[in-house]
Amino acid sequence: MVAAPSGIPFDDIRALIASLPGPDLDAVAAVRARDAVLTKPAGSLGRLEELVEWMAAWQRRPSPAVNRPLVAIFAANHGVAARGVSAYPAAVTQQMVDNFAAGGAAINQICVAYNLGLKVYDLALEVPSGDITVEPALDEAACAATMAFGMEATADGVDLLCLGEMGIANTTVAAAMFAALYGGDPGGWVGRGTGVDADGLSRKREAVTAALATHKAHLDDPLEILRRLGGREVAAMAGAIIAARVNNIPVVVDGFVATAAAAVLHAVDARAIDHCQFGHLSAEGAHGRVLEKIGRKPLLDLGMRLGEGTGAALAAGIIKAAVATHAGMATFAQAGVSEKGD
């Protein structure tokens, strides 16, 4: 049961996270029972078998399916971009959104190849979030409202949700969030993102360090970390993850920035992202450290760092294949194949 609204936005988010449903263990048992009689040695499909169990657990049905997969890209701009932390100007965010709409981006081609739906959400690109070095990215009400907007990605019968993002300077805000969540040298969470040069990397590290200093009195609360150091696309992805759980939709998280949304929820309640797979290991160096912190193993490691949901979309192709294999294979009895020991 979801708690009644309190009038305090983050309290309502916390209550929703606390009430998230768990896995359907009966559905998992049904998958295992079928898997045991399919025409293959037990365990021979390795992680593909685990993916089918995961799908059953979170779709809450014994015969999981992928009929309406969606890649949702959330696009936002960031005030910190004015600090010269990216190799590209902030105008590129809108230009890439236009490119998505025209079908010209990498994610468009991957979605065509794997028959995935694609939606792009423009999160007030004309109004960048606050410069995190001197002010919060968002106030509490705006952050919660953006999380609620992200929840809309789970509509229209989606049965597998892949999360991606677009936003110049968003590897800076993600690095700041990871530094706040996990501590250590702030600069150690910073990578080259879109390919900044040495001076740009220095500016990026300075921005993250300044942001942590500005907000240091408020960084013991994961949702405060989200609103102060994150941005609209990170908040929207966090909302989408929560709504997906409520609506029995497994989630595939993309790379460095998308993982920041999941990491915040994990910090609130580690169980909140049990319905998530992590599509790939980003070439942004600190991503592997984050995945270790939250105890997750990515599906792919292809040296990618583009964003746009590309790693999640590629992983969705594997998940689709896993589910189709489980559903379509013959049993030993159907195929007339002798079982082990026969």
Q: What is the pLDDT of residue 1?
A: 36
Q: Render 137-196 in DSSP notation, one character per residue.
A: SS-HHHHHHHHHHHGGGG-TT-SEEEEEEE-TTHHHHHHHHHHHHH-S-GGGG---TTT-
Q: What is the pLDDT of residue 5?
A: 55
Element (DSSP H or E) covering residue 226: helix 222-229
Cβ distance 143 to 76 under 8 Å? no
In 2-138, DSSP assigns E strands to 69-75, 117-122
State the residue for tokens 């999941």: 262
How far is residue 323's CA from residue 250's CA, in Å, rounded to a whole number?
13
Residues that are catalytic? 308
Q: Is 220 exposed, middle or buried (0-12, 13-18, 19+ CB in 10 A)?
A: exposed
The conformation of residue 294, written as its DSSP 8-state character, comes to T
Side-chain-side CA neighbours of 255 within 13 Å: the count stands at: 26
How far is residue 124's CA from residue 120's CA, in Å, rounded to a whole number?
12
Q: Which residues contact 100 (CB under 8 A, 6 or more apart)?
A: 73, 107, 108, 118, 120, 166, 308
Helices (H), 282-331: 287-293, 310-328
Q: How many C-beta atoms lie closer than 10 Å to residue 10's C-beta? A: 20
pLDDT tens for the chain, 342 residues long, are: 344 555 589 999 999 999 999 999 999 999 999 999 999 999 999 999 999 999 999 999 999 999 999 999 999 999 999 999 999 999 999 999 999 999 999 999 999 999 999 999 999 999 999 999 999 999 999 999 999 999 999 999 999 999 999 999 999 999 999 999 999 999 999 999 888 999 999 999 999 999 999 999 999 999 999 999 999 999 999 999 999 999 999 999 999 999 999 999 999 999 999 999 999 999 998 999 999 999 999 999 999 999 999 999 999 999 999 999 999 999 999 999 998 765
How far is residue 43's CA from residue 46's CA, in Å, rounded to a whole number?
5
Nearest C-alpha neighbor of 156 from the set 233, 72, 100: 72
Q: What is the pLDDT of residue 8?
A: 84
What is the pTM assigned to this prediction? 0.96
How far is residue 74's CA from residue 234's CA, in Å, rounded to a whole number?
8
Q: How many C-beta atoms lie closer than 10 Å to residue 117's C-beta? A: 15
Bridge partners of 252, per DSSP, are 162, 277
Nearest C-alpha neighbor of 70 from the set 122, 121, 116, 120: 116
How far is residue 233's CA from residue 238's CA, in Å, rounded to a whole number?
9
How far is residue 169's CA from residue 295's CA, in Å, rounded to a whole number?
26
